[in-house]
Structures are given as C-alpha cells and as structure tokens.
Amino acid sequence: MDNGTKKYNAEKFERVHLPDDANEELSRPQLSFWKDAWIRLCKNTGAITGLIVIVFIILMAFIGPFMNDYTNEGANYDAAYLPPKVKGLEAIGFDGMQTYEVQGATEEEAIERGLAGYEIEEEYVQDTEVVITKEESEDGYVTVAMEVDIYAARGLEDQYFWFGTDSMGRDLWTRIWSGTQISLYIGFLAAMIDMVIGVIYGGISGYYGGRTDNIMQRIIEILSGIPNLVVVILMIILLKPGLIAITIALTITGWIGMARIVRGQVLKLKGQEFILAARTLGANDKRILMKHLIPNVTGMIIINTMFTIPSAIFFEAFLSFIGLGLQPPIASLGTLIDTAFDDYRVFPYMLLYPAVIISLLMIGFNILADGLRDALDPKMRK
C-alpha cells in the first residue's frame, strides 16, 4: 500500500491555510423555512396541479358570468331544458341535441306520444332508435330513444347556451359560475372564522396552561362529543336557511379542530429551549407569542385551514341537498346539484357540470392541503 515510489512536486506539499469561510461553501446553501417549503411544494406535481385547478376555478367563478350575455336570473320558459351547445364544438357533443326516451305499444306510437308529450314538431327529430324491444321489456312496451334538435324546435337556432339551461330557461353557465362564487365565499369565510376563533382559543389555552387550560379543554371535550352534523342541522333549523346561517352553523363547532392543533403546538413549543432562552433574556409574553410561537405554529394553521375550506364547501352542498341550504334566488353549487337531481335522468347535463366543478374544487383543495402538509411539516424535513 505504500505509494512512496510515485514522485510529486515538492510545492504540492506546502502547507495551505484555507480561508475561514471555506467550510460554509461545502454545506448546502442556507434556506429560510418558507423558501425551503415553497421549493418542496413546487416539486410536488400533485399539489401544483391542485393549485392550478383552484386558481382556474376561482378565476372562472369571477370571469365566467361575464363571458356571455345571459344573466343569472330572469326566467324564459321558451328556453327551458336546453342541452349544452357551443359554437365550434358541435362535433364533440356540444351540439344542442336532446335525447328523450319514450315508451309506447309500438315504435310509432312511442314516437307519436313523445312528440305530443314534449310538444315537438316531427321535422326536428334527427334520429330514432329502439332501446328496449317489446320482447326485452317487462311491461310489454317499446322504449325508443328520440334525438331532437331542440334549439331549432324552440326557434332558438342562433342561441348558444354553453352548459345548457335549467327548468326556468336560465343559462347554466352563468348560474354555475356564480354558484361557484357563493360556494367559495362560504368555504373561505367559514375557514377564516374557524381559524381566528381556533387560534385564539387554542393559543390562550396552550400558552397559559394550568387551570385555564384545564377548564378550556373540558369545554372542548364536551363540544367535540357532539357530531357537527347535528349541530349544523339544528342551527340551520333555528336560524332559517341562508348565507349567514350556513356560515354560523359551520363555524359553531368547526373551530375545535384548529384550537386543538394550536394548543398542542403551543404546548410543545413552550417547553422547548429556544422559548426558555427567550424568556431568560427577558422577553415578555406578547413578544414570545408574536415572535416565537405564532411563526412556528403558522405552518400547522395553514395546513388545517386548507383542509377546512373543502369541508365547508362540502357541508354547504350537503345542506342544500337535504333542503336546508340556500334559498332561491341565490344559487350555490350545492343548490344547483340539488335542483338537477329532479330531472337528471332526462337532462343529465344539469347535474354533470356542477358535479364536476365541485369535485374538481374539492380534489384541488385536498391535494394542495396534502402537499402543504408535506412541505410545511418539519418532521418531513431532511
């Protein structure tokens, strides 16, 4: 192993004195916590996709209603139940064709009954097809699918309702995007209120500890035993459905989760050396709270808030669905879905678009929140 045979220049064996900062260059560049978290978030494709989806939906919620000339209200029964039709996209299904399924003893009778029932002239029927023959059916009737150019039948050839219209002939594109606005509004408002109450309650409870904490925790323990479903429903019944009622109902127990997390974090941080060090240096309560505790808890607060928003949006939609939601004329994604359920077997587009948007919104928020948790959770830090 002795390499003494190989010759080196003598000057290679001069002593060198490395500058003091040479060590620093060897280690990785120092990143602030938030910068580091941001970089990690950007590496998470799912979270970024979620963020893009959310931003897109938020933008559309504000721009969408102004993209055509139709208004949110104003019934026009001539234009009721029109399927989606988009100029240029006829080939991929946005052709304004409506398919009705009609029954009759024979194929002809079924069509005849369909024409009469839906008040359509025969010339607008594009195509008919027997879906269930007499032999296949249980009740001896023939079921015929009848494709109708309903825009023409109503004399509205020059109209283009991109997402179709509802039972009152209102443009669903406009209604869906303004409904999205309402849903987002409820989601954000409820999350903010939860955050403020939760942070204050949890912060006080964790920071002061002792008896204060004990009493505050017992209260939480009792409240958290009540399923929030029950609280929300009772509150809505009491307050009469509406925007404010829903927001209050959602926040009345919604802050508990946040309060628990903040308390836990504060308790944990309080015992750590850097807080003790700050205290020994003479920092007062307010300074410790503002300069040390809050910044360190912020990550958890953001994560939790991000999870609250989709759950508030869901709850609003859920309440609308069981008849406790917003009352007309205000529409949210939830009320639109609820209304769509009345007729969706014939007019599935009424359900499809709000359902897709609420699902995308929920998925977007959930994966963004997951990504944030991974990015902000110091435990995951390498």
Partner 1 sequence: MAKYILQRLVYMFITLFVIATATFFLMQLLPGSPFNELGGKMTEAQEQILLEEYGLNDPVPVQYAKYMLGMVQGDLGVSFQYDNRSVTDIILDRIGPSAHLGAQALIIGSILGIILGMIAAIRHNTWVDYSSNVLAVIGISIPSFVFAGLLQYYFAVQWRIFPPSFWEGPIYTVLPTISLLIFPMAICARFMRTEMLEVLGSDYIELARAKGVSNSSIMFKHALRNALIPVITVLGPITVSLMTGTLVIEQIFAVPGIGEQFVRSISVNDYPVIMGTTMLFSVLFILVILIVDLLYGMIDPRIRITGGKD
Partner 2 sequence: MDPILDVRHLHVFFDTYGGTVQAVRGVDFTLEKGETLAIVGESGSGKSVTVKALMGLVTKPAGHIPEGEILFEGKDLTKLSDKEMQKIRGKDISMIFQDPMTSLNPTMKIGKQIMESLILHQKLSKSEARNRAVELLELVGIPDPASRMNQYPHQFSGGMRQRVVIAIALACNPKVLLADEPTTALDVTIQAQILELMKEIQRKMETSIIFITHDLGVVANVADRVAVMYAGKIVEIGTVDDIFYHPKHPYTWGLLGSMPTVDSDDEKLMAIPGTPPDLINPPKGDAFAARNEYALQIDLEEEPPMFKVSDTHYAATWLLHGDAPDVEPSEAVKKRMKGIAKGNLSAGKENR
Window 31-60: residues binding partner 2 (CB under 8 A): 43
Residue 295's binding partner out of partner 2, partner 1, none, with CB under 5 to 8 Å set by partner kind: none
Measured in residues, the chain has a length of 382
User: Angle at the Cα of 308 (from 250 to 216), degrees rounded to 5?
Assistant: 70
CA distance 196 to 188: 12
CA distance 192 to 56: 21
User: Angle at the Cα of 71 (from 154 to 244), degrees rounded to 5?
Assistant: 130
Residue 382's binding partner out of partner 2, partner 1, none, with CB under 5 to 8 Å set by partner kind: partner 2
CA distance 19 to 17: 6
The greatest distance separating any two alpha carbons of the chain, rounded to the nearest whole angstrom, comes to: 109
Q: Which DSSP symbol is given to 14?
A: S
Two tokens, residue 237: 């019944």
**Least gap, CB of 276 to partner 2 (angstroms):** 21
Q: Does 138 bind partner 2 (CB under 8 A)?
A: no
Q: Does 382 bind partner 1 (CB under 8 A)?
A: no
Q: Does 87 bind partner 2 (CB under 8 A)?
A: no
**Residue with tokens 């900062």, as numbered in its chain:** 21
Binding pattern to partner 1, positions 210-249, x when CB under 8 A? Answer: -----------xx--xxxxxx--xxx-xx-----------
In sequence order, the 6+-apart residues with CB closer than 8 A to the CB of 129 are 144, 145, 147
**Least gap, CB of 39 to partner 2 (angstroms):** 11
Q: Does 380 bind partner 1 (CB under 8 A)?
A: no
Q: By C-alpha distance, which of 263, 333, 269 is closest to 295?
A: 269
Q: Does 298 bind partner 1 (CB under 8 A)?
A: no
CA distance 325 to 294: 36
Q: Does 69 bind partner 2 (CB under 8 A)?
A: no
Strand 125-132 versus strand 142-149 pairing type: antiparallel
Binding pattern to partner 2, positions 16-35, x when CB under 8 A? Answer: xxx---xx--xxx-------
Using the minimum distance from each CB to partner 1, give the nearer residue, 74 or 378.
378
Binding pattern to partner 1, positions 329-358, x when CB under 8 A? Answer: --------x--xx--xx--x--x---x--x
Q: Count other C-beta atoms under 10 Å from residue 4's C-beta.
A: 5
Using the minimum distance from each CB to partner 2, give the nearer residue, 22 or 281.
22
CA distance 333 to 12: 76
**Least gap, CB of 286 to partner 2 (angstroms):** 36
Residue 355's binding partner out of partner 1, partner 2, none, with CB under 5 to 8 Å set by partner kind: partner 1
Q: By C-alpha distance, which of 123, 140, 117, 142 is closest to 132?
A: 142
Count of residues of this chain found to bind partner 1 when the rule CB under 8 A is applied: 38
Q: Does 379 bind partner 2 (CB under 8 A)?
A: no
Residue 43's binding partner out of partner 2, partner 1, none, with CB under 5 to 8 Å set by partner kind: partner 2
Count of residues of this chain found to bind partner 2 when the rule CB under 8 A is applied: 21
Give CA separation, 281 vs 140, 274, 284, in Å: 90, 10, 9
Q: Which DSSP symbol is given to 157?
A: T
* Contacts with partner 1, residue ranges (CB under 8 A): 46, 221-222, 225-230, 233-235, 237-238, 310, 314, 317-318, 321-324, 337, 340-341, 344-345, 348, 351, 355, 358-359, 362-363, 365-367, 370
* Contacts with partner 2, residue ranges (CB under 8 A): 1-4, 8, 10-18, 22-23, 26-28, 43, 382
